[in-house]
Amino acid sequence: MDSELAFSAPAERNRQPILTVLRTLLPAQGQALEIASGTGQHVTWFAAHLPQWTWQPSDVSAELFPTIVARIAQAGLGNVQPPRLLDVMQAHWLGDAGAALRFELIYCANMLHIAPWACCAGLMHGAARHLAPDGRLVTYGPYLEDDVATSEGNKKFDASLRAANPAWGIRRREAVQEQAQGAGLRLAARYAMPANNLLLVWSRA
Ligand SMILES: C[S@@+](CC[C@H](N)C(=O)[O-])C[C@H]1O[C@@H](n2cnc3c(N)ncnc32)[C@H](O)[C@@H]1O
């Protein structure tokens, strides 16, 4: 049963709002790479509802790979590859053979604030290497924005992240944008999402 697997309540809540936006963005079919898959709830949901797409989950840690594999098997999905180790800081993603891989979607939820800041540049440069010409990088999570008042919830969340690890913290959207520009990407769209999250769409500049 799903309940026996490692489970994120926020992922269960936000998977459908995210899918609703993805449906408006994506072509009918393509190849998707998920960065920082965690429990695999997002990739399982998206693969079930976008069956013409193939999905490659990944994470810097293999700890939850058995959970991802079990979740995919329970859902009976044939369009999800086994999870792969991928650290966004690596100069080469997905091993030696990975250099040639291109994806129409690279999706990364809730990593930037729970990883050192350098991971933002790593994500952007890696995405620039592996996006198909018309591909999109989608990032999702909480952000600070210079011209938008920060919610009390995000202020508290940011403080708790920084207390847990000084290298963590909610990132400024404008700073993320600078890193994207440095990698040759631009912010193509911004979606306000439930619970003070943003879904940001990045494309080649
Ligand atoms: C809060 S979880 C998010 C999981 C899932 N994307 C979600 O939204 O529920 C953060 C994930 O980021 C991964 N992560 C942290 N640093 C990373 C890195 N350098 N490269 C790839 N993944 C990383 C962690 O292993 C963890 O699975």
Q: Is residue 159 part of a domain?
A: no
Q: Is residue 26 part of a domain?
A: yes
Q: Is residue 161 part of a domain?
A: no
Q: What is the pLDDT of residues 148-169, one digit of tens each?
A: 999 999 999 999 999 999 999 9
pLDDT at 3: 55
Q: Is the CB of 43 under 6 A from ligand 1?
A: no
Which CATH number fits the domain that encloses residue 94?
A: 3.40.50.150
Q: Is residue 18 part of a domain?
A: yes
Q: Is residue 177 part of a domain?
A: yes
Degrees, nearest 5: CA angle 77-105-61: 70
Expressed as residue numbers, the domain containing 190 is: 2-142+172-204
**Atom 1, ligand 1: residue with shortest CA distance:** 110
CA of 112 to the centre of ligand 1 (A): 8
The count of structural domains within the chain is 1
Q: Is residue 163 part of a domain?
A: no
Q: What is the pLDDT of residues 17-51, one digit of tens each?
A: 999 999 999 999 999 999 999 999 999 999 999 99
**What is the distance between the alpha carbons of residues 202 and 8, in angstroms, rounded to a whole number?**
26
pLDDT at 109: 98
Query: Average pLDDT for residues 173-177, to the nearest whole number?
Result: 98
Decide: pTM greater than 0.85: yes
**Atom 16, ligand 1: residue with shortest CA distance:** 115
Q: Is residue 148 part of a domain?
A: no
Q: Is residue 181 part of a domain?
A: yes
**What is the distance between the alpha carbons of residues 107 and 19, in angstroms, rounded to a whole number?**
11
Q: Is the CB of 119 under 6 A from ligand 1?
A: yes
